[in-house]
Structure 1
Amino acid sequence: MTVPGSGSNRRKRLKALREAALHRPVLARHLSDGFNGRWSRRQWMTASLFASMGLLVAAIVPGFNQDLTTPTAAPRQSMALALPPLPVSRGAQGVEGDSWQIVSVRSGQTLGQLFEEMGVPAATLHRILEQPSAKAALGRLRPGTELAFDLPVNGALRAFRFDQDDMHRVELTLDGDAIRENVIARPVETRTTVATGEITSSLYAAARKAGLSPATIAVMTDQIFQYDIDFNSDIQRGDRFSVVMDETWREGERIGRGKVLAATFTTGGKTYSGFRFEHDGTAEYFSADGRPLKKAFIRMPIPFARVTSGFSRARKHPVLGRVRRHDGVDYGARSGTQIMAAGDARVQFVGWKGGYGRTVILDHGRGNTTLYAHMSRFGKYKVGQRVPQGAVIGYVGASGLATGPHLHYEFRVNGVHRNPLTVTMPPPEPLKGAQLAAFRAQTGPALARIEQFEKLIYARTGADAGQVASAEATTPGGEG
């Protein structure tokens, strides 16, 4: 039996349940459950949010790798760089004149090794060395010496070139078994330059910094100023020196230094000067007033000797055993030590002289003579020959009345014995007359050049520039 109205009520309840289901909140993971083909408002909002985020990410992320600033045109510069030279390939050469290869001798390398590296047979080297010019120039090769080889493609040595000296180059052309020699003159010029320096640590360091060679330094210390300046004790910080010298130049390159024409040295508030002047066939250094810087006599004719017996009016002779005068000074030294002439002189006597043994007597002129006794052997000088100061005239020995090897040295003035250790040595003869006039004409420009250069370098005043004094002895009588 059906209850009236029951079907209508059931339909109303089903419709209410369906509508309630459509409006009930659901979780995001259930968005697809029971999808009926239409999106709710929430679903549209969620989809719009994700779409906006995706567009934003797509617009931002690619910009991380891009420069967002406006590019500006930066100025560009190009610079040419020098590339190292490529080795010359002998296979790439073949035209006469472009096949010269210049090589530089390395330290320890021999001429034979160099020719072997260049592929030149030893027989060809021997043929080249048979030439007198090549044998003299190539006998001792120094590192850095340049040699040139003319080597055509796949051919034997065609020519060889080397420097004979600073002014001549030799080119040897090999033509079969013959060798033709061509000497090529290389023009050189001499320039006069001035070098100056101030001592801060040592003279040698300052001189080398100023551009002086060791040989030039030796001329300054051992020839020009050796009698006036003690370079072991007198030199102080702030001392100055200047040197006028000749330099040899070739093809724009300085290849050597020549004579020292003049020099000044300022120490202890005094400036010494020395000038080179040639007269009577010899070259010497003189002071500004024309007096030789080299003193007439050296006090010790043996280097680094010790005095074993001094000048005495009376002493007991070590051999004879009786009291007698000792009119000289004895210098103890090893047998064979060189004995030097005390000054320029002429040989007066060479031979055996009683108790003196082997003896040499030198006449220095103006009444001055020196005697050297007890020699083991004589030097090369004979009676009547001229002897320059410092020349070796004999060797220490023990000939005559001597108990051991030593030199007995006497100094006489007009025949009277004087103590060599205390006698006032006569000053050297100055230049006179025409020689003095020629000396002043030559040295004036050199001194003016030094003063001008030092004034420029040291900003010296006019008064200071005029204080260049002559280098004269500082002890009485010109003693050295």
Structure 2
Amino acid sequence: MQNHRKPTSPVRIGALRKHFPRVHALTAGAAACVLVLAVFIPTPEVEAKRMPLDVNLSSLDEDTLKVDRKLVAVSPQQGIPLASATVEAIQSLNLTVRNGDTLSDLFKRAKVSAGEMYQLLGSGKEAKKLARLTPGEELTFKVDSEGQLHSLELQRDRLNQVKFTRAEGNDFQHTLVQREPDSHPAYRLAQIDSSLFVAGSEAGLSDSLIMEMADVFSSDIDFALDIRKGDTFSVMFEEKFLDGEKIGNGPILAVSFTNQGRTYSAVRYIDSSGDANYYTPEGKSMRKAFIRTPLDIVRISSHFNPRRLHPVFKSRRPHNGTDYAAPRGTPVYSTGDGRVIASGYSKPNGNYVFIQHGERYVTRYLHLTKRKVKKGQRVKQRQVIGTVGSTGYATGPHLHYEFLVDGRHRNPATIVRQLPKAKSVPSSEMTRFKNQTQPLLANLENYQGPALAKLDENN
């Protein structure tokens, strides 16, 4: 006969209590509570994922996210820091350098300690340049909540910025940022009715471009003596733009000047060494050993005249040079490369400078207000050697300029044309020269033809 057992009925918690001692029951209850807490209460990690952040960390830049002053890596998938992060607010303050401002003044206005300033200045040569600030420059301080300098940006101008950033070990590293403007060719043509400056200004040329053009032709045209009404010129130069706004002009690329019926042309060429100079379309240098005048476009008040009546002594005394009337303080240039053989003062000459050029030539500059060079010093063509004045026997501010060849006085207005020019483009670079300059000259000619025709119609 087979025995059949009844299935065990479920045991209720209340019934079990009767079978367990009190201590065992308390232990079992505590375990049950722990189990419930583990299931229903989230862990700190889960809580961090569930709670929305007050800021969108993925949208913050690197200057804002920091952990112990180190940048925080951000997961692009989750938009949260990969490490436990403390987000510190970085305050940005823009200051403009005012007249009389020192770096110390700017740090005080930014509420950054002097210790931070000295630490920055001691970080290298580039940082030491901060001690020489120019009014109008802009500084951007980025400081953390503890007042510690995180970075400093100096905007020198619209194209050049230097940034100092705190790195490991609290040192500062600098980065130079240079923006390149867009360049486009521009053309101007004008006819002279009264003066070169008036004609150039009316055509839309800046003073600096007018002076640059005069410098290009300074060995061929005396702009104080040779200019005539009806002379014409056309110029192609670079205009520079930044973010669609014109910020300045680049160099002259090609230029043509018709003076007293004779046309001179020049084109800018950058040689294989990276040096830029102006040449004729055939590759001959526009630069002679001497420029025609030692000052920028001025008026001749007295010409070379061996039988001139002296304005002070009222007697016949040779005038062995050319006098250029100009405002006091006008820069005076050396007309050629050479060595200063005399720089001093005498009662008749006032402040003077004499320069030896090679073995045969000497130039003299008299009645200067100030002398900028000393005896024995080497000088380059167009280097400033002094300023116009009226020292010595002079009736007013002007420069007396003399030119000697083998010890004999020659007329400065004519002697330069008889002297050799500088070196031309070497034959080894002629192909390169043609490839670079012919398109420039062709563009200038294409513009010049219709512009001259329109000018003739208006006349």
Structure 2 length-normalised TM: 0.52
What is the distance in 2 between the residues matched to 1:351 and 1:95? Answer: 63
Name 2:385's counterpart in structure 1.
392
What is the distance in 2 between the residues matched to 1:440 and 1:366? Answer: 36
Q: Which runs of 5+ in 1 are unaligned?
A: 1-89, 209-213, 465-480
**Shift of the alpha carbon at 1:354?**
10
1:311 to 302, 305, 312: 305
| Residue correspondence of structure 1 range 63-462 to structure 2 within 5 A | 95-96=65-66, 99-100=89-90, 102-105=92-95, 120-123=111-114, 126-127=117-118, 130-131=121-122, 133-134=126-127, 136-137=129-130, 139-140=132-133, 143=136, 145=138, 147=140, 149-151=142-144, 155-157=146-148, 159-163=150-154, 169-173=162-166, 179-184=170-175, 186=177, 193-197=184-188, 203-204=200-201, 207=204, 217=209, 220-224=212-216, 240-244=234-238, 260=251, 262-265=253-256, 272-277=265-270, 284-294=277-287, 296-299=290-293, 304=298, 307=301, 311-313=305-307, 326=318, 328-329=320-321, 331=323, 340=332, 343-347=335-339, 349-350=341-342, 360-365=353-358, 367-372=360-365, 379-383=372-376, 385-389=378-382, 391-392=384-385, 409-421=401-413, 425-432=417-424, 434=426, 437-438=428-429, 441-442=432-433, 444-449=435-440, 451-452=442-443
Aligned 8 A contact 1:327 1:419 in 2: no
Aligned residue pairs total 352
Aligned 8 A contact 1:411 1:418 in 2: yes
Deviations 1:69-105 (A, max 9, x none): xxxxxxxxxxxxxxxxxxxxx9xx9843674555544
Deviations 1:378-419 (A, max 9, x none): 6524247345245326876666xx587886544334444334
Deviations 1:305-362 (A, max 9, x none): 764685134868976x9x7761514748799867845621434742789997676543
Letter in 2 for 1:444: N
What is the distance in 2 between the residues matched to 1:291 and 1:258? Answer: 26
What is the distance in 2 between the residues matched to 1:116 and 1:375? Answer: 45
Q: CA separation of 1:267/1:301 partners in 2, compared to 1, >3 Å: closer, same or farther?
A: closer
Deviations 1:397-443 (A, max 9, x none): 666xx587886544334444334456573254143462x54366246
Q: CA separation of 1:443/1:311 partners in 2, compared to 1, >3 Å: closer, same or farther?
A: same
Letter in 1 for 2:375: K
Deviations 1:193-220 (A, max 9, x none): 5334567997457657xxxxx5863564
Q: Which runs of 5+ in 2 are unaligned?
A: 1-59, 72-86, 192-197, 454-459
Deviations 1:133-181 (A, max 9, x none): 4452375366573625153xx5443612314876774333389xx7321
Deviations 1:13-34 (A, max 9, x none): xxxxxxxxxxxxxxxxxxxxxx
Aligned 8 A contact 1:275 1:286 in 2: yes
What is the distance in 2 between the residues matched to 1:280 and 1:366? Answer: 29
Q: Which has the larger radius of gyration?
A: 1
SS at the partner of 2:129? helix
Deviations 1:442-463 (A, max 9, x none): 46324415635985x89979xx
**Shift of the alpha carbon at 1:124?**
6.2
Structure 1 length-normalised TM: 0.50
Q: CA separation of 1:330/1:458 partners in 2, compared to 1, >3 Å: closer, same or farther?
A: closer
SS at the partner of 1:451? helix
Letter in 2 for 1:429: K
Name 1:69's counterpart in structure 2.
none
What is the distance in 2 between the residues matched to 1:335 and 1:258? Answer: 27
Q: CA separation of 1:345/1:430 partners in 2, compared to 1, >3 Å: closer, same or farther?
A: closer
**What root-mean-square deviation, in Å, do the aligned CA atoms of Structure 1 and Structure 2 show?**
6.0
Name 1:12's counterpart in structure 2.
none
Aligned 8 A contact 2:91 2:143 in 1: yes
